[in-house]
Structure 1
Amino acid sequence: MTKHSVRIGHTAITWDNKEVDQAVAAIGSCGYWGTETFGWVLQDWAESNRNLPEVFERSELQLTSLYCHLDIVDPSKREEGIQQVMDWIKLYKQFNGPVVVIGGTMLQRDSFAITEHLPHITTTLNELGKRIGDQGLLCCFHPHTGTPVETDDEIHRVMNAVDPSVVKFAPDLGQIAKGGSNPFEFVKEYYELIRMVHIKDYIGGPVERNAEGQEIDKTGFLGYTPLGMGAVDIQGILAYLEERDYSHYALVELDGNQWSATRKGSPMMPPLEAVQTSKRYLEKLGYHNFRTV
């Protein structure tokens, strides 16, 4: 019998990053367990002398993870990128969260081949994982469309090359599906390394582009959808995590309309409604262990 005990949060990027305070209030009001934002968002608040920890305290929400990206391909940029991440982590430690999610920066995919870059990617992730671990935090690598690690082959090659004692896994179900792979297979294969899951639904099918080369966004959320409205087997994956007694965080995610080139200003629904729609889907699956609100 499924226990429905996984603690589920929701990332903040359904809102514009400048509206992280609105995101925290809305996500907290829905009873989610926590949220995630970017390292540079913490930096922006700190540099402008605004008190983001107080925003979280008001909504009784935890910053369960921090997303940081850096150039993982160019060895000449390695130390600068790692130092930037470590600076963001100093700010993150105020929030007492456990996880740092690491992704690569965007690049030209049509001219990229991972073979020549894999040693540099591995070295960067291992060094970063060690330094994050020394801070008492978990380093979780996050494949992402448009970055050096997107496809089935790229994800396998990187995850099989890194040091699993310092680099864990943070699969994003929607990103993996959009990249052309089956996210359920990655969850099963690398389950022992997973310390964070982004629960994201995707409309399905290959990415289509217009005459200018822009991605045709059918949902207004980069092709992603609130849970239960796309093609990803969210129910099956959550059931698998329950069967395996998954004890780490899982965060619903829906990329905000600010990222959309072809439907900016025209999402399928407003952010709060989208977050509430995903919660209703989770409740239909039997998840009622949201925080008391």
Structure 2
Amino acid sequence: MTNRIRFGHTAITWDNSDIESAIPAIASCGYWGTETFGWVLEEWEASGRDLPGLMGRHGLQLTSLYCHLDLVDPNVRQEEIGKVLQWVEMYKKFAGPVVIIGGKMVHRPSFSLTDHLADVVATINELAERIADRGLLCCFHPHTGTPVETEEEIHRVMNALDSRYAAFAPDTGQIAKGGSEPLGIIKEYRELIRIVHVKDYIGGPIEHDAQGREIDKTGFLGYTPLGQGSVDIKGILQYLENSGYTGYAHVELDGNQWSPTRKGNPMLPPLEAIQTSKSYLQQLGYSNFKTDIPT
């Protein structure tokens, strides 16, 4: 393996209110950057706290910002786009390059993308162009529970987006949990990928308990540290390396705070979980983690 990819780790493994713990922990492992949500920046700015200073002290870049919005209702499109652009303006203070956009959750059993495809595409395209006008990369991110989850939905939306402005941010674990094969989708849209979430998933169909809650077998919504799930992480990284991928990559593990059945009982504490993923990447031959870590 040629080891061109440098890895960050998203802060989502910690509670959003605990980013002050996430940043030094991620930095201590030698990851190059991190990602958080638009509303996290908004909360820090509203409280007058210095998030850029905190990240700078730990030598960590905010490589990407995740923003989600209503993709299906045209009546709130401008309001939703306006909110995201407010977050983008806050993000510019961090000199980060990538804004990732995804949809808000929908009621999947009754949802039909066919009824909303035109609005989904119009919203993403408009937002992507306006983000590009601000000098930033905009990448669309399919996500379970949102309007774009399945392989068919990913194809329909990606094939309709304006590639002058909208790039692609696949999440290997989300794609697997949505019932699709991540490597095939990554190969299909390789030329549009500018950032990738490298995430493992326990595998198998989603099961529910008597209350209709998703049965979380890991405490991380079914996701696992790298190498402990069913996703072919090695094959995906090998393909990206062989294809000359030079974009960004974030290891990701969804936080225990969202677990419907194992909240307070994750398979590993957050720091141990992200160290486990780093160890797996080192087993694959990656040695390009930071060593000059501020204390």
TM-based fold match above 0.5: yes
**Partners in 2 of 1:184 and 1:244 — Cα distance?**
13
**Distance in 2 separating the partners of 1:87 and 1:276:** 34
Gaps of 5+ in 1: none
User: Are 1:6 and 2:5 an aligned pair?
Assistant: yes
In the alignment, does 2:242 pair up with 1:243? yes
- 1:189 deviates by 0.4
Equivalent residues in 2 for 1:259-270, closer than 5 Å = 259-270=258-269
Report the Cα distance in structure 2 between the residues aligned to 1:55 and 1:214, rounded to whole angstroms: 37
Match of 2:21 in 1: 22
> In the alignment, what sits opposite 1:40?
39
1:217 is aligned to 216
How far apart, in 1, do the equivalents of 2:89 and 2:21 lie?
A: 24
Matches within 5 A, 1:102-113: 102-113=101-112
What amino acid does structure 2 have at the position aligned with 1:247?
T
SS in 2 for 1:88: helix
Structure 1 residue 245: Cα displacement:
1.3
CA offset at residue 261 of structure 1?
A: 1.0
RMSD: 0.5
Give how far 1:244 is off. 1.1
Q: Describe the SS at the equivalent of 1:110.
A: helix
What CA distance in whole angstroms lies between the structure 2 residues aligned with 1:104 and 1:77?
13
Q: Report the alpha carbon displacement of residue 181 of structure 1 after superposing the two structures with TM.
A: 0.2
Distance in 2 of aligned mates of 1:145 and 1:171: 12
Give the AA of the match of 2:289: F
**2-side partners of 1:92 and 1:37: how far apart?**
10
How far does residue 128 in structure 1 lie from its aligned partner after superposition?
A: 0.3
Letter matched to residue 262 of structure 2? R
Which deviations, in whole Å up to 9, do the C-alpha atoms of 1:8-51 show, x marking residues without a partner?
Answer: 11000000000112111100010001000000000000000000
Aligned to 2:94: 95
Distance in 2 (alpha carbons) for counterparts of 1:235 and 1:21:
31
Code of the residue aligned with 2:267 in structure 1: it is M
CA distance in 1, matches of 2:190, 2:17: 34
SS in 1 for 2:76: helix
| Inter-partner Cα distance in structure 2 for 1:21 and 1:104 | 27
Q: For the residues of structure 1 that align with 2:67 and 2:20, how far apart are their CA atoms?
A: 19
Q: So what's the TM-score if we normalise by structure 2?
A: 0.98
**Residues 61-100 of structure 1 mapped to structure 2, 5 A cutoff:** 61-100=60-99
Match runs of 1:139-288 below 5 Å: 139-288=138-287
Q: Percent identity?
A: 66
Structure 1 letter corresponding to 2:160 = A
Per-residue deviation, 1:158? 0.2
Q: Which amino acid in structure 1 is aligned with residue 274 of structure 2?
A: V
The Cα shift of 1:291 comes to: 1.1
Distance 1:115 1:108 in 2: 15
- Give secondary structure in 2 for the equivalent of 1:21: helix
What's the counterpart of residue 289 of structure 1?
Answer: 288
